[in-house]
Structure 1
Amino acid sequence: MTGDARPWFVNEAGGEARKHAPATLRNREPIVDILRTVLPESGTVLEVASGSGEHAAWFAAAFPELRWQPSDPDGQACASIAAWCDGLPNVLPPLMLDASASDWPVGAVDAILCINMIHISPWEATIGLMRGAGERLSTGAPLYLYGPYRRAGVETAESNEAFDRSLKSRNPAWGLRDVDDVVSVATRYGLAFETVVEMPANNLSLILRKT
């Protein structure tokens, strides 16, 4: 997805396989509040770019009736996901999945989540995410996105502008995306914008559904 190291991960004490992304502790409960209004009552949820796996473990515990399929293109991330989710009966083994790839190692699913990937990946990953979601979701099934975005007519917070500059200094292909651009690509692959929800720390939840 990115081809770069993941400096936002820090090892837990003891040097275990599990990685820790501090932002997950701040955003996981607000995200769950939104997911309660979005996710189906049963079925399989694919998480694209699961990162450390902390979200997958938290969501699986919050929604025990759903089956969770975490994924990531990074081997260390997949090891961390497996460590965090060890013992959770409704979490499948993590898949090596690159959002930008034309072939994903998973079939039809009932919902897809993608948290904090779009701004830390080349634009091709967003295109691939929409293509993959359009191919695997049935009519009405949701694609949930979370992260910092730009919105037409809404001033971008200075903290997000600074974050954007930091991202581009690490990789010119990274950076905050415009909601309108993301929705435009989604529409191309049969996904319709439903709503945007303002979240803590100047982030947004975007909810799209397969048409």
Structure 2
Amino acid sequence: MNILIADDEKDMLKILQAYFKKEGYTVFLAEDGEQAIEIFYSEKIDLAILDWMMPFNSGMNVCKEIKKNGETKVLMLTAKSEDEDELLALKQGADDYVRKPFHPGVLITRAKKLLKEEHLIVIGNIKVDFKGKIAFKNEENLNLTKKEIDLLSCFVRNRGNILSREDLLVNVWGIDYDGDDRTVDTHIRRLREKIGEDLIQTHRGLGYSLIKEK
């Protein structure tokens, strides 16, 4: 997914770029409205995050230009606090509106909703679509089995916690499973071969855990 972020505050651009790249998005930056329009026409942009007040061309004008020429989602950023401004932005075609100051995590959540990607999780260079039951490493399909996806989902839900073999058997295979608990080790070994050896940690005598975010 390609995201365009346009804002004349360079520090803001750097911060948002770091956050969105960590989530696995390709990010294009613009410091004014004209740059934003140039990038829109030269790249396939899925979401444009536009500051309302920018040099050379306002975010509102850029929004109108984008909406006239494609299906790109637009999220407006502004320091304006009047409800009438929010209404104006939505009338001009913006899909969402976020007032400054804001927490980057809130913006990312709103962006994912616009892109219908709330179900996507990024772990290092791995992107997992739990709704679609599919995972990618550097954009290549890992062809995970259903059990491998379920296992990875269990680790994500319990990120940072150590899960014993029994915990994993109950959560992934079900409470009625009566097979050998060593099947957990086998599946984790296969999962590691696909996603990378360093993402799932072994805790001797205790179990396994997914690495914490840095």
TM, length-normalised to structure 1: 0.37
Structure with the bigger percentage of helix? 2
TM, length-normalised to structure 2: 0.36
Look at both structures and tell me which one has the larger radius of gyration over its CA atoms. 2
